[in-house]
Amino acid sequence: MDLESNYEIGPTAEFIQSNKFTRVALQFPDELLKDAVRVVSALRAKLRTLRESNAEQNDDAPEVGLFVMADTAYGSCCVDEVGASHVDADAVVHYGHTCLSPTTTLPAFFVFGKTPISVPDCVKNLSHYALPNGRRVLVLFGLDYAHSIENIREKFAEVCGAESKPEVQYANVICSVMNPSKGRKVSNEVQGTSDNNSFGTVSANTYSIGGLVWKLPEGHKMDDYLLFWIGSNNSAFANIVLTYNGCEIVRYDALECSMVTDLSQQRKILKRRYYLMEKAKDANIVGILVGTLGVAGYLNMIHQMKVLITGAGKKVYTLVMGRPNPAKLANFPECDIFIYVSCAQTALLDSKEYLAPVITPFEAMLAFNRGCQWTGEYVMEFRDLINSSPVESRNFSEEARFSFLQGGYVEDFDPQGLRS
């Protein structure tokens, strides 16, 4: 696939020119940096062409400054608004894999890329699960395969014919352009829950996760569907497996043209996370790791975590250090556990090599809320947790708590004397 198409040079130039941006940051992940120079050259040429074609209407249009950003402070899937602010950028063009988390200050244009896929082979495998038993199927995909979904839908309809109408739903991409005001609106909507308190539900039958959105027919539930994932085994897929762990899930590996049905390794993650939740209950000093400075709502989540932790009678520190690693966190041996506030696709840290475990805000809410039981539901997006349940500070119980790790009853630590 040629560079002009894969990097959407034309639509990107239209976005910049139509909004009259003069300073634009181009954010590349490490694996795409090799193409950065060619992309900038092609984009400048396209912008020059557009400027010349509109010269009569806008004679004094300034030349657009393009700035390449690499080595982001946090996850490359999030828009690096802090890095963009260093060059006083008006907007960010984000290339490659993204979590599509809402931005707080800058508009963003997302170029997902176009990973090649064998549409006939994908349709054949989809038919294997959808046609024989009339099984309800929901097709989800990595954003780099969004360009081929309409083609897959059409080819699958041809295979089914006019008489057969299997129940196959397809997710859609939420957007390719995001601005702060709309991002905040989306964030507030996603925070809300449906009547059945299902996290990640925008409305009663509309679901959203990882930049995808879909609507199920009235009366249908997610557990009724087999999830057919098109894409690689990456953080986006792990998000799907954990969030919808009650669904049967299969994965079509487009690079290998093969189906993957054994997800036992991914599901083992849930057991590990439950162990970390139990370990967090015995913690006395907690560190909050700030894993983003750009995702909308992160300050609210940090505040909510502080209220939750102090309300549980524990001491809390807030730490900002960029991407965490074992060496960085080893400088804080006082902390028994860390809570990582970041986007959903970077939230799960394999903390086996760390001195202290690293958990997510959802796991913290289960660990530090007395009497709160895990039902199997798992929430990755911290925006789904904001105001999802009231956090009562100073809500101590005089009764001792049984610790599964220590094998006996313990009393929660109260460093600030809040019980008195």
Q: Are residues 149 and 239 in the same domain?
A: yes
Retrieve residue 90's tokens. Answer: 């008006």
Number of structural domains the chain divides into: 3
Q: Are residues 47 and 149 in the same domain?
A: no
SS3 260: strand
Q: Are residues 133 and 245 in the same domain?
A: yes
Q: Are residues 76 and 172 in the same domain?
A: no
**Residue 96 to residue 79: CA distance in whole angstroms:** 11
What DSSP state is assigned to residue 217? Answer: P
Q: Are residues 370 and 318 in the same domain?
A: yes
CA distances from 360 to 79, 113, 239 (A): 20, 29, 13
Amino acid found at 75: G
**Residue 341 to residue 365: CA distance in whole angstroms:** 13
Is residue 349 one of the residues assigned to a domain? yes
CA distances from 367 to 279, 361, 371 (A): 8, 10, 9
Retrieve residue 245's tokens. Answer: 């762990």
CATH code, domain with 326: 3.40.50.11860
SS3 362: helix
Neighbours of 403 (CB within 10 A): 14
**Residue 372 to residue 263: CA distance in whole angstroms:** 28
| Residue appearing with tokens 């960085």 | 328
Q: Are residues 291 and 176 in the same domain?
A: no
**Residue 41 to residue 289: CA distance in whole angstroms:** 39
Q: Which domain holds residue 210?
A: 119-182+203-261
Q: Are residues 142 and 242 in the same domain?
A: yes
Is residue 143 one of the residues assigned to a domain? yes
What DSSP state is assigned to residue 355? Answer: S
**Residue 57 to residue 74: CA distance in whole angstroms:** 42
Retrieve residue 31's tokens. Answer: 């694996």
Is residue 233 one of the residues assigned to a domain? yes
In tens digits, the chain (420 residues) has pLDDT values of 689 999 999 999 999 999 999 999 999 999 999 999 999 999 999 999 988 887 666 656 678 999 999 878 788 899 999 899 999 999 999 999 999 988 889 999 999 999 999 999 999 999 998 877 778 999 999 999 999 999 999 999 988 876 567 889 999 999 899 988 543 433 333 333 333 344 455 556 889 998 999 999 988 899 999 999 999 999 899 999 999 988 999 999 999 999 999 888 777 888 888 889 989 988 999 999 998 887 888 899 999 999 999 988 899 999 998 889 999 999 999 999 999 999 888 888 888 889 999 999 999 999 998 777 777 788 888 877 875 554 444 444 555 565 656 566 566 555 444 443
CATH code, domain with 43: 3.40.50.11840
**Residue 133 to residue 166: CA distance in whole angstroms:** 9
Is residue 172 one of the residues assigned to a domain? yes
pTM here is: 0.84
SS3 259: strand
Contact 283, 406 (CB under 8 A): no
DSSP string for residues in 91-138: EEEEES----PPPSSS-EEEE-------HHHHHHHHHHHHSTT---EE
CA atoms within 13 A on the CB side of 85: 11
E-assigned strands of 142-257?
168-170, 172-173, 177-178, 206-209, 212-215, 226-230, 248-253
